[in-house]
Amino acid sequence: MKKALIATALLGVIGMSAAFAGHGDGFGDCGGKGGHDGGFGGRGGDRMGEMLTEKLKLDDAQKTQLETIKQEQGTKMEALHTQMQEQMKALRAENETKIAAILTPEQAVTFKQMQDDRQKRQQERLESMKKRLESGTL
């Protein structure tokens, strides 16, 4: 019973780690460079700027100021995103260390293989994304 409980907990943690693991490749995880869709810094930023320009009838000086605001927000969002990625990576490493500490030597070998397999899949996804970006089929 205890081994089944440990195995279930282990699978849950690995699943969570895998779910967060894909967020580290830097290719539009949250709507593109700088933020979520629809925000000033993301892919929707141009649409938001166009909507504000049209609906509010911004003059040229206001358009320039809006562009500066968008650029500042994009920079801040990118820095925050990077910081969050680093924190999640550290948390995953901490969790994996704690998990490894409770495993038998045989389980540790299997756990290491699972980690290696996950890392390989991540690398394959990254390579696939790079190819799609280069070919323009994204």
Non-local CB neighbours of 75 within 8 Å, separated by 6+ positions = 34, 41
Angle at 10 between CA 5 and CA 11, to 5 degrees: 100
User: Is residue 13 scored above 90 in pLDDT?
Assistant: no
Q: What is the pLDDT of residue 136?
A: 82
**Alpha-carbon dihedral angle through residues 87, 93, 98, 102, given to the nearest 10 degrees:** 160
Q: What is the pLDDT of residue 15?
A: 53
User: Is residue 24 scored above 80 in pLDDT?
Assistant: no
- Predicted TM-score of the model (pTM): 0.53
Mean pLDDT over 122-129 rounds to 95
Looking at residue 103, what DSSP letter applies?
S
**Most confident segment among 12-16, 28-32, 49-53, 97-101:** 97-101
